[in-house]
Structure 1
Amino acid sequence: MDPRVRKHAEIIADHSTRIEEGDNVILNAPPVAEDLVTALFAICGERGANPQWLGQTTAAHRAFMHAADADQFETPEHALAQMEAADVYVSIRGDTNTRQTSDVDPEKTAAYSKAHRPIFEERMGKRWVGTQYPAPGNAQEAEMATEAYENFVYAAIDKDWDQQREHQQQMVEILDPADEVRIVSGDTTDVTMSVAGNPTANDYAELNLPGGEVYTAPLPESVEGEVTFDKPVVNQGREILGARLVFEGGEVVDHSAEKNEAVLTALLNTDDGARRLGELGIGMNRDIDRFTYNMLFDEKMGDTVHMAIGRSIPWTVGEENEANDSATHVDMIVDMGEDSFIEVDGEVVQRDGTFRFEDGFEG
């Protein structure tokens, strides 16, 4: 076994989820990630925890979705009971074919998400993490050789996370007390939103591995302006290019896409909350230096901002504020490397990818 796999497992167990004696641990991972699952089983055995491997493939999920009637989707009570009994949940991504579900009806996918929402909400109360195994399918999607992709993944994961937290905390301290945030990129994106009273979270690999972002929630009715997402959005195996959203009173009132606009439309029609933003995130992991068609990495990429339509993340919503409620949460990325800036309460805090607390910043 590659020693980096054992190191990956140790970061999951020690840093991200703190697996302890007696913990019931669910490992949701495809067969291609068996080495990482094996390493985690060994750690659970060493610590007296109780692991269970859920090994569904995307091919099996595709077969179910094609055969199922969306009108019959209900919350599977056995899956909910299993999640209720868990202490730790580890979701491991890894693909042999990243586009396996690309021919599943987007409206059926939205209905499935609604039915499984209680399971998702239960999971959010556990010690959980989502991570990536460097599988060949993901390497191919990233247009990289498998060995090069392995090096990329492990460089982004095996970091000094305490140091990364301290670096990101500087942005947290700017954003946390803020009222208004403005994002400008080129002549296609100029959007403002209020984050007043909503906490800013510092993601340093506790819930996502890799980590590397700070994020908060806009007030649902505060978003105004237009944004074009210049990085692709991949949802259920479909690639949306050039997604453009226009906001008025917090709601998407116009949208378009250069490719797969119908998929974007279906996402926005999931429910009322899908037409509002649930998250504003700023990527700060500079070991992620290229777009790989994998949002777990791409949203953390240095010199980017991402916004998510749909559900707010609960701990980013202040007690006095309204959370955006939706069955979906889809992140979309804006490149902030050139001809761009982030403005907080009228003051530029990042220009062309350089923060005001970094050398080379020009306000």
Structure 2
Amino acid sequence: MDDRTLRHARVLVDHCTDVAPEDDVEIRAPTAAEDLVVALYEALGRRGARATTVWRNPRATRAYAREMYPDDYRPKEHRVAALVETDVVILIKGARNAAETSDVNADARRAASRAKEPLLRERLDTRWVITQHPTPADAQRADLSTAAWRSLVYDAVDRDWAAMRERQARVADRLAAADEVRLVAGDDTDLRFDVAGMDAYNDAGRENMPGGEVATVPAVDGVEGEVRFDHPLRRGGREAAGIRLSFAEGRVVDWAAERGADVLDSLLETDEGASRVGELGIGTNEGVDRVTGNVLFDEKAAGTVHVALGDALSECVPDDRTGNESAVHADLIRDASADARIAFDGETVYRDGEFLIREESD
């Protein structure tokens, strides 16, 4: 087995979830990620934890969805009950065919997303992490050789996470203290976010591996302006590109896509919260040196920003505030490496891919 896969497993168990001997651990993985699952079982065995695996099979998912009536989707209460007794959840991505579910109709997709919401809520109460196992199908989607894709994945994962957390802390502190964030990029993006009273998320590889972002959440009605995303949105093996959104009082009031408009339409129609913003994030991981079409990596790439439609990051919503709620959380990526700036309360703190915030002693 590749030594990098073994290191990946150790990062997930030791750093991301800090598994203890008494923990019940659930691994959710596609069959294409068998090597990482085996490596995880080795790491969990050394910890003395109890492990179980829920295998995902996109071919089976497709077959099921193509026969189901949308009205027949309902929450899987037996899975929810199992999660109540679960301490740690490790979710793994990795495809044999990245477009396997691309011909599932939009009504079934929306119904499936809504039915999964109780499962999502229960999982968020565990210690959890989502990660990626490199497969040839995902390499092809990234337009990379299998070897190059594996190197990108492992370079992004094998970082000094303690140093990254410390480096990002001063940005997160400033963001948590801000009342308004403004994002301006090119001549087609100018967004204002009301973030007063919200916290900031310093992602140094806990819930996401790879990590590498600083993020916050706007008020439910606190987004105004226009944005164009210059990287595609991929959902269920299908793609929408050239997305433009206009916001008023926090809600998407006008939208368009140069390609795959029905993918965007389906997302926005999932529920009321799908047309509102659940996150604004700024990528910081220098190990991700290109956008590949894999959102787990693209949103962390240094020189990008992302706006997520749907469910709010719970880490950023204090008990006395309200965040957006939705069955979806869809990150849309915008390049910010050139002709772009971000301001906190009117002060430019980020320009063309670089933070301008320095420590007091700098």
- Please state which band the TM-score falls in when normalised by the shorter chain: over 0.9
**Structure 1: how far apart are the matches of 2:93 and 2:350?**
32
TM-fit CA distance, 1:319: 2.6
> What does residue 312 of structure 2 align with?
312
Q: Is 1:110–1:328's contact at 8 Å kept on the other side of the alignment?
A: no
Instruction: Determine helix, strand or coil for the equivalent of 1:331.
Output: strand
> What does residue 296 of structure 2 align with?
296
> What does residue 118 of structure 2 align with?
118
The answer as to 2:9 corresponding to 1:2 is no
> What does residue 59 of structure 1 align with?
59
**Structure 2: how far apart are the matches of 1:196 and 1:316?**
11
1:215-271, Cα deviation, whole Å (9 max, x unpaired):
110111111100001111101111110111001111111000001111111111111
- For structure 1, which segment, 38-47 or 228-237, has the greater mean C-alpha deviation from structure 2 after superposition? 38-47
**Structure 2: how far apart are the matches of 1:45 and 1:85?**
19
> What does residue 109 of structure 2 align with?
109
The answer as to 2:5 corresponding to 1:21 is no
TM-fit CA distance, 1:318: 2.3
> What does residue 43 of structure 1 align with?
43
**Structure 2: how far apart are the matches of 1:104 and 1:171?**
41
One-letter code aligned to 1:136: P
Q: Is 1:340–1:351's contact at 8 Å kept on the other side of the alignment?
A: yes
The answer as to 2:271 corresponding to 1:271 is yes
User: What is the Cα-based RMSD across aligned positions, in Å?
Assistant: 1.2
One-letter code aligned to 1:150: R
Q: Is 1:251–1:275's contact at 8 Å kept on the other side of the alignment?
A: yes
1:98-145, Cα deviation, whole Å (9 max, x unpaired):
111111112211111111111110000101100000111111111111
Percent sequence identity over matched residues?
44
> What does residue 337 of structure 1 align with?
337
- For structure 1, which segment, 349-358 or 108-117, has the greater mean C-alpha deviation from structure 2 after superposition? 349-358
**Structure 2: how far apart are the matches of 1:56 and 1:221?**
37
One-letter code aligned to 1:265: D
One-letter code aligned to 2:319: E
One-letter code aligned to 1:106: A
Structure 1 runs of 4+ off > 3 angstroms?
none
TM-fit CA distance, 1:34: 0.9
**Structure 2: how far apart are the matches of 1:341 and 1:162?**
27
TM-fit CA distance, 1:358: 6.6
**Structure 2: how far apart are the matches of 1:183 and 1:272?**
24
The answer as to 2:129 corresponding to 1:139 is no
**Structure 1: how far apart are the matches of 2:20 and 2:183?**
42
Instruction: Determine helix, strand or coil for the equivalent of 1:29.
Output: strand
Q: Is 1:290–1:301's contact at 8 Å kept on the other side of the alignment?
A: yes
- For structure 1, which segment, 239-248 or 106-115, has the greater mean C-alpha deviation from structure 2 after superposition? 106-115
One-letter code aligned to 1:184: V
1:49-98, Cα deviation, whole Å (9 max, x unpaired):
11111112111111111111110111111111111111110001111111
One-letter code aligned to 2:330: V
1:6-29, Cα deviation, whole Å (9 max, x unpaired):
100100010001111121111111
Q: Which runs of 5+ in 1 are unaligned?
A: none
TM-score normalised to the size of structure 1? 0.97
Q: Which runs of 5+ in 2 are unaligned?
A: none
> What does residue 210 of structure 1 align with?
210
One-letter code aligned to 1:223: V
> What does residue 326 of structure 2 align with?
326
Q: Is 1:98–1:138's contact at 8 Å kept on the other side of the alignment?
A: yes
1:173-232, Cα deviation, whole Å (9 max, x unpaired):
221100011100101100101101000011111100000001110111111100001111
**Structure 1: how far apart are the matches of 2:222 and 2:12?**
37
> What does residue 85 of structure 1 align with?
85
TM-fit CA distance, 1:170: 2.1
The answer as to 2:248 corresponding to 1:239 is no
Instruction: Determine helix, strand or coil for the equivalent of 2:332.
Output: strand
**Structure 2: how far apart are the matches of 1:154 and 1:358?**
29
Instruction: Determine helix, strand or coil for the equivalent of 2:56.
Output: coil
One-letter code aligned to 2:18: R
